[in-house]
Amino acid sequence: MTSAGAPAVPSYTSGISEVPLLGDTIGDNFDRMATAQPDAEALVEVPTGRRWTYGRLREELDTLAMGLLAAGLSKGDRLGIWAPNMAEWTLIQYATAKIGVILVNINPAYRTHELEYVLNQAGISVLVAARSFKTSDYAAMIDEVRPRCPQLRQVVLIGSPEWDALVESGRDGDRTELARLQAQLSPDDPINIQYTSGTTGFPKGATLSHHNILNNGYFVGRLCGYTPADRVCIPVPFYHCFGMVMGNLGATTNGATMVIPAQGFDPKATLAAVARERCSSLYGVPTMFIAELNDPEFDSYDLSSLRTGIMAGSPCPVEVMKQVVDRMGMTEVTICYGMTETSPVSTQTRADDSLDRRVSTVGRVHPHVEIKIVDPETGLTVPRGVPGEFCTRGYSVMLGYWNEPEKTAEAIDQARWMHTGDLAVMDSDGYVNITGRIKDMVIRGGENLYPREIEEFLYTHPDVLDAQVIGVPDARFGEELCAWVTLREGAPALTAEALREFATGKLAHYKIPRYVVIVEEFPMTVTGKIRKVEMRERSVEILGLADAATIRNA
């Protein structure tokens, strides 16, 4: 009888940790930190100069929570937040968590079509919104859709008399009753809904619990080495997990300071905030770091306080990571990989990883999480070094998509593995590289875009017969959208400018294709499936994007 040798090592690993998971709710965890260090700085809003210690922030959170109770909200109700990065966003985030009201994040770039869908799909009863931001007149858009949103009973514009009244109504609230209600909450309760672009034409609401996001923020912060001495500059949007979980919760669970540099990303404002507030950590998608490094006045900012930070949300170019280490002094910068549905982080590089590993992989499995790489056809775990679909399991996997059990079942299998749709390779030491995507999702500057949603919209153009949307390489955003379009007989040629004009005000700006290629027909397989891989290759040639296509990513 002969031996066939040892079987190959499978692409599976789990995050062993001596540090236990937190068993708190978000409110209890914050209160515990505020009691331990009431005089430590918790939040700084640089544009307005407003500052909160942990003790003062706890007082204001309790007041706002009691105001929300006075407005008739209770555990399980949904409150929408539609605003750019501002202190009130953070106040609402923690105040809703204290009373079990589910916070629904609404992308500041949404337009009426998307806003109306989310308000109705989540059953939002109270909407807190900024009056406007950049070119978005939120108040006007809310007025337009409100008659078609029967469950929306109250709108509170930040800074308006209604906002002041909401806060004032909580000042005389019963703190004993607030504490009683807070004590009745479970860490496993749903507390946050974040919408991801939908492959079927509409976004899906990833529903996350206290346990999901509190722990993910905590361990992201721990792997960055956060202590109460750290100050975290957060230019990434709060509506996204990167801002509210990795940023806000990553800071407060470790007693660090949240620093808001501006309402929206601005490279100068970010660099100035780091210098002025002596931030030790800086977050961003690669696009943001590229803009900061290329600022004409970059060398005039004192960034000597920087130690760590996170680059995530989009494939991270190796050369950009090296510059962040060398020119920004972020010697302990980490790369994170994840998705909204997993709270979001599943893998992260560590400060003690070699420079090569830290700039060319997305790291190793997170504490208390399992990951594996499987054959997309069979579902079996592939050997190390073989590409397959990245799957993850553990405390971080969402409860499900809000009111969409069938969609949930498509993403999470019976063993509770989340199937990401991303192609990855795990090396012999457990480090992971993301090599592509099974689904044709496009990641533009940290935004996950699903072509099907955009294609469905393009079909509404009177001259469009058929449309296929793909991602093409872009030096700034990682990927940009390109629409291949076939036109109805006799229709005039459609330019990218004309298409953008048609979509403006109806789609969020980042969903509007930058490029348009008019064709007679699409490349097809012998079985009649669209060959998007071939379309991408041809687009690179047609649009002259060969240089962008050569950029190496982790």
- Band of pLDDT at residue 350, cut at 50, 70 and 90: very high
Residue 77 is assigned to a structural domain of this protein: yes
Res 284 pLDDT > 80: yes
Q: Give the global pTM.
A: 0.86
Question: 75 and 181 in contact (C-beta within 8 Å)?
Answer: yes
Res 404 pLDDT > 60: yes
Phi–psi pair at 230, nearest 5 degrees: -85, 145
CA–CA separation, 54 vs 33, rounded Å?
8
Q: Which of these ranges, 45-59, 222-236, 342-356, has the smallest mean pLDDT? A: 342-356
Tokens 């709710």 correspond to: 25
CA–CA separation, 52 vs 89, rounded Å?
14
Residue type, 207: T
Q: Assign residue 542 the CATH number of its domain.
A: 3.30.300.30
Residue type, 421: G
Taking alpha carbons only, the member of 374, 411, 417 closest to residue 394 is: 417
Res 130 pLDDT > 90: yes
Q: Which helix (H) or strand (E) holds 129?
A: strand 126-129
Taking alpha carbons only, the member of 394, 484, 505 closest to residue 440 is: 484
Q: Assign residue 69 the CATH number of its domain.
A: 3.40.50.980
- CB contact set of 174 (below 8 Å; sequence gap of 6+): 66
**pLDDT for 199:** 41
What is the pLDDT averaged over residues 91-101? 98
**3-class SS of residue 404:** coil
Residue 466 is assigned to a structural domain of this protein: yes
Res 436 pLDDT > 90: no
- Decide which of 201 and 534 is more confident: 534
Taking alpha carbons only, the member of 367, 306, 373, 310 closest to residue 336 is: 310
Residue type, 186: S
Residue 359 is assigned to a structural domain of this protein: no
**pLDDT for 508:** 92
**pLDDT for 526:** 53
- CB contact set of 258 (below 8 Å; sequence gap of 6+): 42, 43, 44, 90, 232, 234, 247, 248, 251, 252
Residue 241 is assigned to a structural domain of this protein: no
Domain tally for the chain? 2
DSSP states of 267-325: HHHHHHHHHHHT-SEEEE-HHHHHHHHT-TTGGGS--TT--EEEE-SS--BHHHHHHHH
**3-class SS of residue 455:** helix
- CB contact set of 424 (below 8 Å; sequence gap of 6+): 373, 387, 388, 389, 390, 432, 433, 434, 435
Taking alpha carbons only, the member of 426, 422, 361, 369 closest to residue 393 is: 369
Structure letter (DSSP) for residue 243: I
**pLDDT for 328:** 98
- For 17-35, write each residue's pLDDT tens digit: 999 999 999 999 999 999 9
**pLDDT for 1:** 43
Q: Which helix (H) or strand (E) holds 364?
A: strand 364-365
HSE (CB half, 13 Å, CA atoms) of 105?
A: 28
Question: 246 and 366 in contact (C-beta within 8 Å)?
Answer: no
Give the Å distances, CA to CA, from 516 to 195, 363, 470, 482, 499: 27, 36, 10, 6, 8
DSSP states of 142-155: HHHHGGG-TT--EE
Helix count and strand count (H, E) for the chain: 19, 26
Residue 62 is assigned to a structural domain of this protein: yes
Average pLDDT score, the chain = 93
**Two tokens, residue 528:** 């009649």
Question: 271 and 292 in contact (C-beta within 8 Å)?
Answer: yes
- CB contact set of 137 (below 8 Å; sequence gap of 6+): none
Residue 234 is assigned to a structural domain of this protein: no
What is the pLDDT averaged over residues 318-336? 93
Res 462 pLDDT > 50: yes
What is the pLDDT averaged over residues 440-468? 84
- For 136-151, write each residue's pLDDT tens digit: 999 999 999 999 999 9
Mark which of 152, 186, 220 sits at the end of a domain. 186
End-to-end C-alpha distance for the chain, whole angstroms: 45
CA–CA separation, 166 vs 168, rounded Å?
6
Residue 462, classified by CB atoms within 10 Å of its CB into exposed (0-12), middle (13-18) or buried (19+), is exposed
Residue 312 is assigned to a structural domain of this protein: no
**pLDDT for 2:** 45
- Decide which of 462 and 45 is more confident: 45
Mark which of 138, 169, 186 sits at the end of a domain. 186
Residue 215 is assigned to a structural domain of this protein: no
Mark which of 153, 168, 186 sits at the end of a domain. 186
CA–CA separation, 392 vs 311, rounded Å?
20
- Decide which of 530 and 434 is more confident: 434
Taking alpha carbons only, the member of 417, 399, 404 closest to residue 190 is: 399
**3-class SS of residue 183:** helix
What is the pLDDT averaged over residues 186-190? 98
For residue 463, the enclosing domain spans: 442-549
- CB contact set of 35 (below 8 Å; sequence gap of 6+): none
Residues of the chain with pLDDT > 90, as a percent, come to 77
Q: Which helix (H) or strand (E) holds 78?
A: strand 78-82
What is the pLDDT averaged over residues 78-104? 98
